[in-house]
C-alpha cells in the first residue's frame, strides 16, 4: 500500500491513486481524498465506479460496442491485466442478462 500512499483500491471498481480520489470527489461532491473510507459505503462505492467507468476512463463507447479489449486498455493501460478473464466474465454476463 505504500506505493499508492494510502490511495489504494476502494469502491466497486477499486479507485486507486490520489489524483483519481481528488477527481472523483470533485465530480461527485464528496471529499474522498480527506475521507477515503467513504468509498467503502455502498452509495459512494457505486457512484465512484460509475464515474470512473463513464467519465474518468470514457469507457461507454467501447462498452456499447462490446469491446472488452478497449475497455481493459483504458482501465489497465497497455498491460490489459486479466483480459481473458474479463472477456469470459463479460460473455457470461451478457448471456445471463439477455435471457
Query: pLDDT by residue (tens digit) across 65-87?
Result: 999 999 999 998 888 989 999 99
Confidence (pTM): 0.86
Give percent of the chain with pLDDT exceeding 70: 99
11 and 40 in a common domain: yes
- Domain with 65, as residue range(s), is 58-99
**Do 50 and 37 form a contact (C-beta atoms < 8 A)?**
no
95 and 67 in a common domain: yes
Residue-level pLDDT at 42: 97
- Closest by Cα among 44, 50, 40 to 8: 40
The dihedral formed by the CA atoms of 32, 76, 64 and 10, expressed in degrees to the nearest 10: -30
25, 40, 56 - which closes a domain: 56
What CATH number has the domain bearing residue 1? 3.30.20.10
47 and 65 in a common domain: no
80 and 45 in a common domain: no
Number of domains in the chain: 2
Residue 58 CB neighbour total at 10 angstroms: 11
Lowest mean pLDDT among 1-5, 36-40, 62-66, 78-82: 1-5
Output phi, psi for 17, to 5 deg: 80, 145
47 and 8 in a common domain: yes
Amino acid at each position: 500500500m505504500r506505493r499508492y500512499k494510502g490511495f489504494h483500491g476502494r469502491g466497486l471498481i477499486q479507485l486507486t491513486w490520489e489524483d483519481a480520489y481528488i477527481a472523483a470527489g470533485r465530480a461527485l461532491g464528496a471529499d474522498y481524498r480527506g475521507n477515503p473510507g467513504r468509498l467503502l459505503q455502498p452509495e459512494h462505492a457505486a457512484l465512484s465506479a460509475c464515474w470512473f467507468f463513464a467519465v474518468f476512463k470514457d469507457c461507454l463507447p467501447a462498452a456499447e460496442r462490446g469491446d472488452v479489449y478497449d475497455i481493459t486498455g483504458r482501465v489497465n493501460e497497455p498491460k490489459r491485466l486479466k483480459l481473458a478473464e474479463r472477456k469470459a466474465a463479460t460473455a457470461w454476463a451478457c448471456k445471463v442478462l439477455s435471457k
